[in-house]
Amino acid sequence: MTASPVASAGASQTPPAFTHADGVGADGVGADGVGADEPAALGARLPIPRQGDERFHWGSSAPFFLLHLTPFLVVFTGWSWRAVVLGFLTFSARMFFITAGYHRYFAHRSYRLARVPQFIMAFGGATAAQKGPLWWAAHHRDHHRWSDTDRDIHSPQRGFWWSHMNWIVCDRYSDTKFDRIKDFAKFPELRFIDKFDWIGPWSLGVACYLIAGWQGLVIGFFTSTVLCWHATFTINSLAHVFGRRRYVTEDTSRNSALLAVLTMGEGWHNNHHYYPASARQGFFWWEWDPSFYVLKILSWVGVVKDMKTPPAWALQASRVRDGNFDIGMFRAHWNKATRAVVAASEQLSERVSERRASAGETLHDKRLALESFVRGSMESAEELATLARRTQRAERNPEPPAAASPSSP
């Protein structure tokens, strides 16, 4: 997922069998935001150095950090049950608008809305101070397109703090990628919310003050905003690190019941990366997914239409426990081992004295041979994963037998 007042975006790549199975829009973007004809990205081979625009920009990030201090104002304002209940309601409502709106609707088009409810969903998400819906969804689509590779905007393989919030406080991802969100960028009202994303948070802040005074502003708005941020951020930083993998995917996504409770169902991250176009992320009845429950109720009264959910066969396919080749975890472990070997070889090379130049040249040749072996092995693994997916598709959709030619008289 994604989030923040300075930047946002939220929860990865999926097996090609499902990446485009849910339809491709006229702009060539699939339901999960991946181009219909674009191949999956290979994993990063070596650590990528931090670029200049990926470092802290203290000027633009100051409001983000200062807002983290506002909950301590409760020492001066005190608290009341009215303010606490208000804080719970604003947290829950905004988490729903982020998970069901920004994420499942705008980023993945997992259901349909009419124009008025679409506007309400966009404005509600904007009140969470995680920037506009177009910015959020466009960056999240890129996350799925390049999940856990060197082009992933918030991969935990670059470190916990980078994936949790450091990517938010840099300049590199500050602009909206309208070419990645053409399907929704055509609506002028959504462009307005995206451009003036401060209107939503300020409106909610004023409302909280009018309802419960200074306590309502501090607890109902500021505190719940900070909690909503970091609950959202955990999907980026922890959902690819902690939990269990049910399905084979091309990333390291995991399922976590704890994160699902914190984020109204977003913790079933492996489910989501396996079938990103699904409006339901808790695939089974025991997987807590209140965002889907609310969407289901809204579908009963006609507000939400055409909700997508995985077919029965998909729920049982590509399971890790059945011995399917897990290319996502293989790539992650292989890349980690590669970095360790390359780092060790570089340290050894530095120890070779100038008087032993020939030995250094030999070591260099060995290192090149090792890197060639690593690349070849990774490519073979990618080919194996592709072959396995094609085999599964062929088993699900067998070709009809060829019609017998008419016999000659």
Question: What integer is the mean pLDDT of 181-185?
Answer: 95
pLDDT at 32 over 50: no
**Boundaries of domain holding 212:** 16-315
Arithmetic mean of pLDDT over the chain: 79
Nearest in space to 255 (alpha carbons), one of 228, 274, 230 = 274
SS3 assignment, position 117:
helix
Contact 3, 98 (CB under 8 A): yes
Higher pLDDT, 372 or 242: 242
pLDDT at 183 over 90: yes
- Same-domain pairing of 349 and 279: no
- Same-domain pairing of 93 and 137: yes
* Residue 64: predicted pLDDT: 82
Contacts (Cβ under 8 Å, ≥6 apart) of 252 = 148, 156, 157, 240, 241, 328, 329, 332
- Same-domain pairing of 356 and 230: no
* Residue 300: predicted pLDDT: 97
pLDDT at 44 over 80: no
Question: What integer is the mean pLDDT of 350-374?
Answer: 63
* Residue 152: predicted pLDDT: 73
Would 398 be classed as within a structural domain?
Answer: no
DSSP 322: G
* Residue 191: predicted pLDDT: 97
The separation between CA 15 and the C-alpha centre of its own chain, rounded to angstroms, equals: 15
- Same-domain pairing of 290 and 370: no
Would 7 be classed as within a structural domain?
Answer: no
- Same-domain pairing of 296 and 386: no
Would 334 be classed as within a structural domain?
Answer: yes
pLDDT at 350 over 70: no
The share of the chain scoring above pLDDT 90, in percent, equals: 50
Question: What integer is the mean pLDDT of 9-15?
Answer: 35
- Same-domain pairing of 274 and 357: no
* Residue 169: predicted pLDDT: 75
The residue from 266, 291, 315 where one domain ends is 315
- Same-domain pairing of 295 and 191: yes
pLDDT band at 20 (very low <50, low <70, confident <90, very high): very low
Backbone angles phi, psi at 30, to 5 degrees: -70, 175
* Residue 287: predicted pLDDT: 97
* Residue 29: predicted pLDDT: 42
Would 399 be classed as within a structural domain?
Answer: no
Would 2 be classed as within a structural domain?
Answer: no
pLDDT band at 327 (very low <50, low <70, confident <90, very high): confident
* Residue 391: predicted pLDDT: 67
Would 58 be classed as within a structural domain?
Answer: yes
* Residue 315: predicted pLDDT: 94
Contacts (Cβ under 8 Å, ≥6 apart) of 98 = 1, 3, 10, 125, 128, 130, 228, 232
Nearest in space to 54 (alpha carbons), one of 176, 160, 232, 174 = 174
The residue from 292, 315, 338 where one domain ends is 315
The separation between CA 301 and the C-alpha centre of its own chain, rounded to angstroms, equals: 30
Residue type, 155: S
> Of 14-28, 255-269, 352-366, which gets the smallest average pLDDT?
14-28
Question: What integer is the mean pLDDT of 300-315?
Answer: 95
- Same-domain pairing of 154 and 202: yes
Other C-beta atoms within 10 Å of 85: how many?
A: 14
Total number of domains in the chain = 2
Question: What integer is the mean pLDDT of 176-202?
Answer: 95
* Residue 42: predicted pLDDT: 41
pLDDT band at 50 (very low <50, low <70, confident <90, very high): low
pLDDT band at 260 (very low <50, low <70, confident <90, very high): very high
d(CA 109, CA 106): 6
Other C-beta atoms within 10 Å of 346: how many?
A: 10
Query: Which run of H or E residues covers position 389?
Result: helix 357-396
Specify which residues 32 forms β-bridges with: none
Higher pLDDT, 330 or 26: 330
Contact 82, 219 (CB under 8 A): no
- Same-domain pairing of 203 and 347: no
SS3 assignment, position 24:
strand
pLDDT at 25 over 50: no
Contacts (Cβ under 8 Å, ≥6 apart) of 137 = 33, 102, 103, 106, 107, 181, 184
pLDDT band at 283 (very low <50, low <70, confident <90, very high): very high
Tokens of 304: 């939400």
pLDDT at 36 over 80: no
Higher pLDDT, 387 or 90: 90
Higher pLDDT, 34 or 159: 159
The separation between CA 118 and the C-alpha centre of its own chain, rounded to angstroms, equals: 21
pLDDT at 121 over 80: yes
* Residue 258: predicted pLDDT: 96
pLDDT band at 33 (very low <50, low <70, confident <90, very high): very low
Contact 31, 110 (CB under 8 A): yes
Nearest in space to 310 (alpha carbons), one of 290, 268, 282 = 282
Would 5 be classed as within a structural domain?
Answer: no
pLDDT at 166 over 70: no
* Residue 3: predicted pLDDT: 47
Reported pTM: 0.77
Question: What integer is the mean pLDDT of 57-74?
Answer: 83
- Same-domain pairing of 330 and 306: no
Would 409 be classed as within a structural domain?
Answer: no
- Same-domain pairing of 284 and 335: no
Query: pLDDT tens digits, residue range 74-114?
Result: 999 999 999 999 999 999 999 999 999 999 999 999 999 99
pLDDT at 173 over 50: yes
**Polymer length of the chain:** 409
Contact 269, 140 (CB under 8 A): no
The residue from 288, 315, 342 where one domain ends is 315
- Same-domain pairing of 184 and 261: yes
pLDDT at 205 over 70: yes
